[in-house]
Amino acid sequence: MPARAAPKTVILLMGPPGSGKGTQAQALQERYGLERIETGRILREIAKEPSDRGRRVQTFVDSGRLAPPPMVAQLVAEEARRILAGGGGILFDGSPRTLAEAEILSRLLSDITDRVLVIMLDVPKSESVARILKRWICTDCKRPQPPMPDIAEACRLCGGKLEKRADDTTAIVEKRWEEYTFRTLPVIEYFNRQGKVARVNGNRPISDVVSDVAHIVTERLGI
Ligand SMILES: [Zn+2]
């Protein structure tokens, strides 16, 4: 199916860990031809520029230190602005992660578009934890697999060997939930006060969630 045009459109996909953001992001990207905002890639590209900001980013890339969050947020927002100014649409998947970053992004995009939609995938914590602990990934094609019981067989796509992701443990999932609750929920609240959030029940089969998300996009953005 050819992508539908989504000019000057910003879709932010948010939700707790294990809510299926990656899967829904892929579906949205294919359906609307959105450009996915990936912070790491943006920083690596800026580092190559022969400019002041290029040299500033390069020092962080070279030293392996993390760039300060406000600086990263500013650079990501500038990149988003550039894509929107060219008539494109963009997708944020799980970011911005903090209120400060959300405010920087909103400020930089406010005069270029008001077509901003936050899709919040609702999944109860018990379900999210169960999904993550059952998650397997293929060592060959690196594609995630549908949740399965403890003993996983071969990859459903290429027959490769499956393994658990190293960070899919109970302790790390708890930590990701804590981070989500204290840092990301305020971001969703912030956009909610602007009337930009649509909630979707993510605790259903993937295809049902995909079609709900498509309906919301049509209803809210007319595409
Ligand atoms: Zn595979």
**pLDDT for 195:** 96
Confidence at 149, pLDDT banded by 50, 70, 90: low
In sequence order, the β-bridge partners of residue 199 are 120
Please determine, for residue 112, whether its predicted confidence score (pLDDT) is greater than 80: yes
**Peptide bond just before 96 cis, omega within 30 deg:** yes
Q: Among all chains, which residue has been given the structure tokens 């059952």?
A: 134
Cα-to-centroid distance, 19 and ligand 1 (Å): 22
Cα-to-centroid distance, 136 and ligand 1 (Å): 10
Please determine, for residue 82, whether its predicted confidence score (pLDDT) is greater than 80: yes
Contact 72, 47 (CB under 8 A): no
Quick one: which of 134, 139, 130 has its CA closest to 161? 139
Average pLDDT over residues 191-203: 97
Contact 133, 173 (CB under 8 A): yes
The runs of H, that is alpha helices, within 86-169 are 99-109, 125-133
Contact 132, 168 (CB under 8 A): yes
Cα-to-centroid distance, 157 and ligand 1 (Å): 5
Rg (the chain; Cα; Å):
18
Cα-to-centroid distance, 128 and ligand 1 (Å): 23
Cα-to-centroid distance, 154 and ligand 1 (Å): 8
Rounded alpha-carbon distances, angstroms, from residue 156 to 146, 160, 164, 207, 208:
9, 8, 15, 18, 21
Cα-to-centroid distance, 47 and ligand 1 (Å): 33
Helix axes 69-85, 39-47, angle to 10 degrees: 90
Q: What is the pTM of this model?
A: 0.86
Task: Return the minimum-mean-pLDDT range out of 131-135, 152-156, 179-183.
Answer: 152-156
**pLDDT for 7:** 92
Average pLDDT over residues 76-100: 93
Residues with Cβ within 8 Å of residue 188, at least 6 apart in sequence = 14, 118, 120, 197
What does the pLDDT look like over 125-146, one tens digit per residue? 999 988 888 888 888 988 777 6
Please determine, for residue 151, whether its predicted confidence score (pLDDT) is greater than 70: no
In sequence order, the β-bridge partners of residue 144 are 137
To the nearest 10°, report the CA torsion of 179, 185, 191, 194: -150
Confidence at 67, pLDDT banded by 50, 70, 90: confident
Range picked from 3-7, 160-164, 167-171, 181-185 for highest mean pLDDT: 181-185
Side-chain-facing half-sphere of 215: CA atoms under 13 Å: 8
Cα-to-centroid distance, 133 and ligand 1 (Å): 19
Averaged confidence pLDDT in the chain: 90
Average pLDDT over residues 30-59: 92
**pLDDT for 169:** 85
In whole angstroms, give the CA distance from residue 24 to residue 213: 8
Average pLDDT over residues 20-41: 90
In whole angstroms, give the CA distance from residue 135 to residue 119: 23
**pLDDT for 106:** 94
